[in-house]
Amino acid sequence: MTLEVVLITGMSGSGKSVALHALEDAGYYCVDNLPPELLLPFVALEQQSSAERVAIAVDVRSATSLPLVPAQLRELRREKVNVRPLFLDSTTDTLVRRFSETRRRHPLSSTPATPQDGQRALVDAIELERELLGDLRDQAHVIDTSVIRPSQLQAYVKTLLSAPASQLTLVFQSFAFKRGIPVDADFVFDVRMLPNPHYEPGLRDLTGRDEPVRAFLRQHADVERMSNRIATFLDEWLEPLARDHRSYVTVAIGCTGGQHRSVYLVEQLAAWFGQRWTALKRHRELDA
């Protein structure tokens, strides 16, 4: 059986340990902070032991050898190893807040002379880390953890890795613009100009998954036209993306509150494209 290797990388404070625990619960053999120099020998050892699923976390603590990893991933794929890279990301403001709340030092931070120096040093360290991890981010599926809870992240990781690795997987995500655009989105569509069920008293507390809201939106031609335009765009570009060996494509659809219009369209599009591709649904503001 082909060995599956999940490589988890990402920004410090973005939730790599949470993702690794989720994979451990799902039956993966997990290794944290493996030095990149040991990646190929470790995978070879696991192949000899007939292992089936391995998760490896690599981060900026191995900064000097991180440039080795992209070539190593290509080598593993040439050897027919099923490699699935995940990159966890968050906005800089979110990362600063998390480090401040936990009072942990960033791995690339120097010792500050004053609190003001410490704040500047933390932001500088985060930006340096983004630069060092840029090549790994480009090769991975990105998960934005800025505004999601650990339980959501665990569910997202398990759902992503349950999808077949041999074909392109579409991730349709609804979100609220008032809480920020997801940094993991490959395509972003703004549907705030569509009729808003929020202003209908009987629909305000429902969501785009509820039939009364769906019926309200179906009666508006603009909603159908928007859905068709998004579908037409994706129809044109999914095949070229698949030929480019993309494993995941995230399509984010946003409205004001992430409860009605964006949820409805994600449900519609995921059902439509799920007939031809692996299509996953994610509702950032609704998922528990």
Name the residue range of residue 216's domain.
169-283
Domain check: are 264 and 217 in the same one? yes
| Cβ–Cβ under 8 Å, residues 226 and 191 | yes
Q: Which pLDDT belongs to residue 285?
A: 95
Q: Looking at the structure, tell me whether residues 158 and 203 fall in a common domain.
A: no
Query: From the centroid of its chain, how far is CA 144?
Result: 5
Q: Are residues 153 and 185 in the same domain?
A: no
Residue where one domain finishes, among candidates 131, 162, 193? 162
Q: What is the pLDDT of residues 211-269, one digit of tens each?
A: 999 999 999 999 999 999 999 999 999 989 888 878 899 999 999 999 999 999 999 99
Question: Does 96 share its domain with 231?
Answer: no
In this structure, is residue 93 part of a structural domain? Answer: yes
Q: What is the pTM of this model?
A: 0.85
Residue 190 lies in a domain: yes
Joined together, the tokens standing for residue 151 give 């339980």
Closest C-alpha among 190, 189, 208 to residue 198: 208
Contact 92, 122 (CB under 8 A): no
Q: In this structure, what CATH number is given to the domain that contains residue 20?
A: 3.40.50.300
> 122 and 176, same structural domain?
no
In tens, the pLDDT along 124-159 reads 999 999 999 999 999 899 999 999 999 999 999 999
Mean pLDDT confidence for 177-200:
96
Question: Quick check: 253 and 230 in contact, CB under 8 A?
Answer: yes
User: What pLDDT shows up at residue 281?
Assistant: 95
State residue 275's pLDDT score.
Answer: 92
Same domain? For 33 and 94 the reply is yes
The helix-helix angle for 221-243 and 261-273 (nearest 10°) equals 50
User: Is 111 a member of any domain?
Assistant: yes
Instruction: Note whether 103 and 224 are same-domain residues.
Output: no
Q: What is the DSSP string of 9-51?
A: EE-TTSSHHHHHHHHHHTT-EEESS--GGGHHHHHHHHHHTT-
Among 118, 138, 162, the domain boundary falls at 162
Distance CA 23, CA 57 (A): 11
Residue 216 lies in a domain: yes
pLDDT > 90 fraction of the chain, expressed in percent and rounded: 74
Q: Which of 2-11, 59-68, 166-175, 204-213 has the lowest mean pLDDT?
A: 59-68
Tell me the Ramachandran region of residue 144: left when phi exceeds 0, alpha when psi lies from -120 to 50, beta otherwise: beta
Average pLDDT, integer, range 69-86 = 91
Domain check: are 59 and 111 in the same one?
yes
Q: Which two tokens stand for residue 44?
A: 């070879």
Q: How many CA atoms lie within 13 A of 52 on its CB side?
A: 3
Looking at residue 257, what DSSP letter applies? S
**Final residue of a structural domain among 112, 127, 162:** 162
Tell me, yes or no, whether 279 and 144 share the same domain.
no
Residue 229 belongs to some domain of the structure: yes
Please tell me whether residues 143 and 50 are part of one structural domain: yes
13: left (phi > 0), else alpha (psi -120 to 50), else beta?
A: left
Per-residue pLDDT, 119: 59
Kindly state whether residues 137 and 228 are assigned to the same domain. Answer: no
**pLDDT of amino acid 116:** 52
Tracing tokens 């808003």 back to the chain, one arrives at 196
Total domains in the fold of the chain? 2
Q: Vertex 106, ends 102 and 107: CA angle to 5°?
A: 135
Question: Can you tell me whether residue 246 is helix, strand or coil?
Answer: coil
Q: Is residue 288 part of a domain?
A: no
pLDDT the model gives residue 65: 87
Rounded to the nearest 5 degrees, what angle is found at the Cα of 281, between the Cα atoms of 52 and 162? 10
Which residue's entry shows tokens 């451990």? 24
Residues 109 and 217 in one domain: no
Q: What is the pLDDT of residues 99-130, one digit of tens each?
A: 988 888 898 876 554 455 555 688 999 999 99
Residue 125 within any structural domain of the chain: yes
User: Could you read off the pLDDT of 4-63 as tens digits, one per residue?
Assistant: 999 999 999 999 999 999 999 999 999 999 999 999 999 999 988 877 899 999 988 887
